Amino acid sequence: MGKAFFDFLQHLLSQDAWFRWIVCIVLVYLIWQILRILRLVLRHLVRWFRKTWRFTFVWGRRNLLVIAALGTLLWAFSNPLLDLLQSIEQRYFSPVFLNDYGNWNEAHLTAIFEEELGKQVDPYQKMVVMRRTREMAEKIQSTPLAIYEAAYLECGLNPFRVRTDRVAAGWIQFTRAGLASLRYHGKPVSMNEVFRACETRDIEFMMDLTELYLVRKYEQSGRKPLHNTIDLYLALFAPAHIGAPSDKVVYAGLDNPSYFKNAGLDGWFVVRNAGDRQQIVRERGARDGKITIWEIYLAIEAKKGRLVRSYAR
C-alpha cells in the first residue's frame, strides 16, 4: 500500500510544469488540513485525558490489591492456560494431520517447497539452490523433497538464516561442532565464514558447504539410502540413530545443550479425531525432556502440513 502511494505521488510529480504546479498546491493544501486535524484531535485528547485521569487511573488501595491478587492468580495458572489456548488453536483453528496430502505426489510437493523458497531468496539464488539440491540428492541417494523438508524445519528455507543466539546458521544450520572436520578447498571452515556468507548472501559458498556436509554425513552413515526425510534428518544430526525404533531418544536432558537447541521438537504427539484421522499436536505439558525419533518426524510433518495447506486454499 505504501509503495503504491509513493509510486502514484512520483507519477504526479513527473508531469508537465503546469499540472505539477497544481498538484503541488493540492498537496500543500492536503498536508495543511491533515496537520490541522491532527492538532484538533490532539487537543481534544488532552482535554479528555485531564477530565478522566482521576476516574480512570487513580483507584483505591483495595482495588489495586484485588488487581494484584487476580494478576498473581492468572500468572500461577498461565502455563495450563497457555496449553489450553494452544490446544484449542491446534485442534480447531489450524489442525494438521499425518500424511494428509490428498492426491498430491512428490513432484507437486517439491514444487510447493520451491515456491516457498522463492520468498526467501532472489531468482538467481533460487535457481542455484534448486540445481544444487537435485545434484546433492543424487549423491546421497535422497530426494530434493527430503532435503527441502529438513531445511524447512531447520531454517524455514532461508539459506542465510542465523539463529538469534548465533549458535547455528545457514541452509542446514551449521554449528561450530558440525564444521569441525569440514575442509573447503583444503582449509578448515570457521563459523565466522558461515556468518559472513549469510550476511553477504553468498549462495555458492553456502551450497558448496552444504554438499560437503551432506556427503560426509552420508558416508559416515554407511552410505545408506536417505529417501525418507527422517532418515536424512538423522543422518545430518544423529547418524547413529538411523533405522532405530521410533521411540528411540535422540536428545535428552533439560540442561543438555543438544536438547536445549532442539527443544522445539519435544512435546509432539498424535490424537485421532472423529474421522479417525491422526491429528498432529504439540503441548507444553507433553514435554518431558526427551526428544524421540517419532517426535522429530511429527515436527517435520506438522510444519510440512501447514505449508501444504496454505497452498491448497
Does the residue 248 lie in any domain? yes
Residue 1 scores a pLDDT above 60: no
Integer Cα distance of 17 and 192 in angstroms: 54
Q: Which residues pair with 187 in a beta bridge?
A: 184
- Each residue's pLDDT tens digit, 232-264: 888 888 878 888 888 999 888 877 888 888 888
Does the residue 223 lie in any domain? yes
Does the residue 104 lie in any domain? yes
One-letter amino acid for residue 217 of the chain: K
pLDDT band at 3 (very low <50, low <70, confident <90, very high): very low
Residue 119 scores a pLDDT above 90: yes
Does the residue 37 lie in any domain? no
What domain count does the chain have? 1
Q: Kindly report the backbone phi and psi dihedral angles of residue 268, in degrees, each rounded to the nearest multiple of 5, phi listed first.
A: -90, 140
- Owning domain of residue 213: 84-312
Q: Kindly report the backbone phi and psi dihedral angles of residue 21, in degrees, each rounded to the nearest multiple of 5, phi listed first.
A: -65, -45
Half-sphere exposure of 257 toward its Cβ, with a 13 Å CA cutoff? 5
- Give pTM, 2 decimals: 0.73
Half-sphere exposure of 100 toward its Cβ, with a 13 Å CA cutoff? 21
Integer Cα distance of 181 and 136 in angstroms: 19
- Each residue's pLDDT tens digit, 80-99: 777 777 777 777 777 888 87
Q: Can you read off the three cell numbers belonging to residue 126?
A: 533460487
Integer Cα distance of 266 and 292 in angstroms: 8
